[in-house]
Amino acid sequence: MNTYHDPSEYIRGLQQLLISDKKKIAFLFGAGTSLAKKNKASINVPAIGKLTDEIEVEILDAFKDIPRMRKAYLDIKNEIAKERYTIETILSSLELKKQVVGSSSINGIDKEEFDQLINAIKKRIRQKISIHTAIENKIENVIHVDFADWIKKADRKFAVEIFTTNYDYLFEIGLENKDVPYYDGFTGGYKPFFNSESIDDINFLPHQTKLWKIHGSLGWHFDNETKKVWRKDSDSEDMLIYPSTLKYNDSKKQPYTALGDRLTHFLKQPDTILITCGYSFGDEHINERILTALSSNTTAHVYVLYYDILYKDGKKTGYSLTENSYLSRLAKGNNKLSVFGCKNAIIGCKYGEWRLKREPDKDDTLNVNLYFDESFSPNPDDEIKIEYKESVPWSGEGELFLPDFKKFVDFLQSMIFDSNNTKE
C-alpha cells in the first residue's frame, strides 16, 4: 500500500513548535538560501554547481599559458568523486596537498604554484559571492531582512541560533537592518578575534541571536604569526573555506571544529528543534554531527525542508527525493529526522507522498495556500495546469512550498501576524 502524509497535519505541528517558547529553535541554512529571491529585482549568489562551473572555466583560462597548472587542476578534480566535486572540495584538496608538498612537487606543481591556484580560486569565489555592495541601496529586495524581522518580532524565551554554510553577508545584512543584536563568535573592536571559549559556552550571551558561519566567511583572516583567526573589514581579500587546514593553537580550537561542536552541543540540549532549509545534506561532517547528537537525545528533532524539484532547460522534470535517495535512507532509519520534500516526505521513518485527507473549505484554503499548492499537476505548463485542475476531481495532491526559502520566510511572517492577533 502507498503511504501518504497530510501536509496540513504536519505543518500545523511545525507552526505550534515555532510559536511556542518551550522549545529551543535553531536553523541550518545552506546555499539554497543565498540563491533564493524575494522578487525579480533581488540579487542572489550563484548555486554551488553554477559557481563551480564558472570558476573552473575561468581558472583554466587564467592558466592557459601554463599547461602544468591546468593539468594539475584537472588531475585533482578527477581524484574527487564526481558527485562530490565542487569548488569547495577541490579547494580543500589543494589546501591539504599544499601542507604536505614540502620542497618537492605533487601533481606536477610545487608549493608556490599550489598557492597561486588556491589564491586564484579564492579571489573568484570572493568576487562572485560579494553581492553586499550591489544590494546596499536595495535592501527591500533581500528576503533575509524579512527573516530577521520574524526573529525580532517573534516572542521567544530562548534566542534563535542560525548555523549557515554560506560565506556571504546576507544574514548579517538582514539582522543589522532590523536592529537584531547577534553574536558570531568574534570579540573585540580593533582586531576582532575568534573566541572559541565563547562558542563552547552554550549559555554565553543567552538573549542574543547567534550566527554561526560553519564554513567560514568573507572577511575572516588567519594570522600565521599569532595563529589567530580575526575579522577584517567586509571588503578584505581574505576568506576561510571549509575544511581549512589551520592547525590547533595550544588548547584553542580552530573555527570549524568549535562551530561544529556548537551544533552538536545545541542538539544535545533538552527540547531542541533544528530546521534546515537550502541545505542538501552534501556535507558528511555536518551530517555526522547531526545524527550523532540525535542518537543521544530523545527530545531533539530535525525538520529538513528539502527543495528537490529537478529542472532541465527551464522545465520541471521530477524530484530528487526518491525512496532510495541518500536523504531518504537516513530519515527511514531515524524517527527524529523528518524530511519535507516538495512532492514527498519521510516522517516517522515512512516515505510517502503529500496528500490532503480532505478538501479544504474556504477558510482552510487561505491557510493551506501558505504552504501547499493544490493546483499542482504533472505538467509544468501553466495553461495546461489550469485545464488539468478544472477537468479532474479533487485528489488532495500537491506540492509543498516551504522548502523554498522565500516561501518559508513568508510562512514565518504569517505566524507573527497570527500570534499578534491571538494576543489581542
The per-residue pLDDT for range 404-417, each reduced to its tens digit, is 999 999 999 998 86
> pLDDT digits over 387-406, tens only?
544 556 778 899 999 999 99
- Residue 212 near residue 262, CB atoms below 8 Å: yes
Residue linked to cell 521567544: 156
> pLDDT digits over 206-232, tens only?
999 999 999 889 989 888 788 888 888
Mean pLDDT is lowest, of 17-26, 63-72, 225-234, 238-247, for 238-247
Query: How far is it, in rounded angstroms, from Cα 72 to Cα 109?
Result: 7
The predicted pLDDT at position 77 comes to 96
What's phi and psi for 148, nearest 5 deg? -65, -35
pTM as predicted: 0.88
Rounded to the nearest 10 degrees, the angle between the axes of helix 143-153 and helix 170-177 is 50
Residue linked to cell 518551550: 22
Closest CA to 327 of 299, 296, 304, 293: 304
Question: Which cell numbers hold the place of 199?
Answer: 562558542
> pLDDT digits over 198-211, tens only?
999 999 999 999 99
Exposure letters 200-217 (e unless 16+ CB within 10 A, then b):
eeeeeeeeebbbbbbbbb
Q: What's the CATH number of domain 4-42+137-423, 2.60.120.10, 3.40.50.1220, 3.30.70.240, 3.40.50.720?
A: 3.40.50.1220
Q: What's the Rg (C-alpha) of the chain?
A: 23
> pLDDT digits over 15-56, tens only?
999 988 889 999 999 999 999 999 999 999 988 889 999 999
Question: Which cell numbers hold the place of 36?
Answer: 533564493
Exposure letters 350-380 (e unless 16+ CB within 10 A, then b):
ebbebebeeebeeeeeebbebbbbbebbeee
CB atoms within 10 A of CB 129: 21
Query: How far is it, in rounded angstroms, from Cα 353 to Cα 375?
Result: 16
pLDDT at 421 over 70: no
Domain residue limits, the chain: 4-42+137-423, 48-129
Q: What percent of the chain has pLDDT over 90?
A: 63
